Amino acid sequence: MTGSNSFDDQRRLAITNLKGIGISLVVFGHAISHETIAAHLIYSFHMPLFFIISGLLLKNDRISQPISEYVARQFRSLIVPFLFFSAVFLLVWTVLRELVRRGVISPPKTFGESQNWTVLEAAFNTLLGAGDYVRPVNVVLWFFTALFVTSIYFRLLRGVMPLTLVCFGSIVLAAIAIIARHSRADVLPWNIDLAAICLVFFSFGNLLAGTQSERRIWSLPDWQKGLYGTLLLLCGLVAGFFNQIVDLRTMELGYPPVFFASAILSCCGVLILAYILPGYWMVETVAANSIVIFPIHGIIMQVASVLARRRFLALVPGNVGDVLWALLMTVAAIACCCGLGILFRKYIPWAIGGR
């Protein structure tokens, strides 16, 4: 456990807790059945949380950089990992497709019609980096392109207008994107339409970082932080419960006003609660390896499911078995990815956005 006294130290600790909580929710949300209430509630806010965190972390000196330097830095941090993991999982997909064609294994549920693709078609669709294009190879790759485009939108708008206008403008852009989405079967390449929705959360996060709101939160007694954070989180989850099932990746938002309200309330609640959580090395490790956990956890859980899920559920049947399996897979996948993160940082740091 670590302690911190200054606002800057407490802010770093809170954001570390947020990242650790957020990536754990992502993994658990993928491990548990999407038909459960838990998955319904997690999907109502867990991805917006990452865009809010990204906005919180964006400093003013980065915004004031020349646009070419800003884009280059975002490209190295997000698109290089996207290209690397796309290549890795395209290779995995190619091997699995060959095993499916030879009848060695059954097609994974994410394959769909992609088992009839050529390698070139799979590579092209993966590089589109959005929606169901990336689903057969690795469904989570959409996040890299979505965050990249969102950050570029924010930088372009922030260069010509104040932050408050960017926040209001993002709402208008999101409304246009939502209306336009109904005329298409999938989101646009590189999430250039979805990014308008994500921009609402990114801008909101940066607005929090640019005001005295965080310092006011930090100065509150812990019991008040706990009370306010819990109330906001409960209000957000209740709103999310009454909304339809949400999948930000495909822009399935249920009732958009309810989605935005529930996501922002839940994220604010988690943010406030993060200020009273102590620092643990396990959470810090998970947060530090989130860029590795995000793309890799799925394949680990798929392999484990093929090898052991049926045997485990035979021992612990029913809903209890499903929940325990999801928890077990969450812990195992995160632990494996954290181990891989050590190797990435030592041998190929550029693959995860480092130098």
DSSP, collapsed to helix, strand or coil, labels residue 194 as: helix
- Classify residue 167: in a domain, yes or no: yes
Q: Is residue 333 included in any domain, yes or no? A: no
- Determine, yes or no, domain membership for 313: no
Count of beta carbons in the 10 Å neighbourhood of residue 342: 13
What is the Cα gyration radius of the chain?
20
Q: From CA 288, how far away is CA 339, in angstroms rounded?
A: 12
Residue 199 lies in a domain: yes
Question: What is the C-alpha separation between 248 and 131, in angstroms, rounded?
Answer: 9
Q: Is residue 247 part of a domain?
A: yes
* 8 Å CB contact between 34 and 244: no
Q: What string of pLDDT tens digits covers the 355 residues of the chain?
A: 444 457 778 888 889 999 999 999 999 999 888 888 999 999 999 999 999 999 999 988 888 889 999 999 999 999 999 999 999 999 988 888 888 788 777 766 666 667 778 888 888 988 988 777 777 788 899 999 999 999 999 999 999 999 999 999 999 999 999 999 877 777 889 999 999 999 999 999 999 886 666 777 778 888 999 999 999 999 999 999 999 999 999 999 999 999 999 999 999 999 999 989 888 899 999 999 999 999 999 888 887 877 776 677 667 776 777 888 889 999 999 999 999 999 999 999 999 998 7
80 contacts 355 by C-beta, under 8 angstroms = no
- Within 8 A by CB and 6+ apart from 174, the residues are 196, 197, 199, 200, 256, 260
| Closest by Cα among 207, 229, 211 to 220 | 229
- The answer to the question of residue 224 being in a domain is yes
Question: pTM for the full model?
Answer: 0.92
Q: Which domain holds residue 266?
A: 7-288
Residue 98 falls within a domain, yes or no? yes
CB 272, CB 225: distance < 8 Å: yes
| Structural domain includes residue 314 | no
Give the total number of structural domains in the chain: 1
